[in-house]
Amino acid sequence: MNLPHLVGIQLFLYAALWALCARILVAERRAVLHYLAYALAAGVAILLISWRPDGPVWWTHTFSSMLNMLSLVLARRGVEVFLQIRPRDLEHALTALLGSAMFVWVGPDDTSARVALGAGLVGAGRGVELLVALAQGVRAALHADGGGALGGHAAHQCGAGRICPARACGGG
């Protein structure tokens, strides 16, 4: 068994555990289902990549890139739902639709263009922007929560100038 197979199987195990969590954590089911979809999409993407160079190039290159991009959009939306941050649905939809269209337009043969597109959508360029926006939303949710929706895991700014859970340093 090669490493991509192992990673794909690991992501499917995560998906199975997220499915179990969806049954148990009723209050967080919407977020958990996003994490389940992320794990499934990422697992299928990795297994398609592991099929290279023998598989059909549209599946192993183009479709796997589309699934990888979609998995990261699903993961981000799951975090937004969990933290009760207003999801950026239009942004997510445009990223998924336009990104998929661009992957199809680039096709499976131009590896450098496909990698650059993936990096621009969810990697170096777009990914940093998405992470910064998510981090700002998380910080605002932690400050505004006051122990409510986040189950008493409210945060505050320590004397050291960093955000930490209230219980970690004595609460304030």
- pLDDT tens digit sequence for 122-143: 554 455 566 666 677 677 766 6
Contacts of 109 (CB under 8 A, 6+ apart): 57, 61
What integer pLDDT is reported at residue 71 of this predicted model?
92
Which position has the higher pLDDT, 55 or 33? 33
Alpha carbons 37 and 50: distance in angstroms, whole number: 20
First to last CA, the chain: 51
Q: Which long-range contacts (CB under 8 A, 24 or more apart) does 21-24 make?
A: none
Does 12 have pLDDT greater than 90? yes
Does 162 have pLDDT greater than 70? no
Query: In the chain, where are the structural domains located?
Result: 3-122
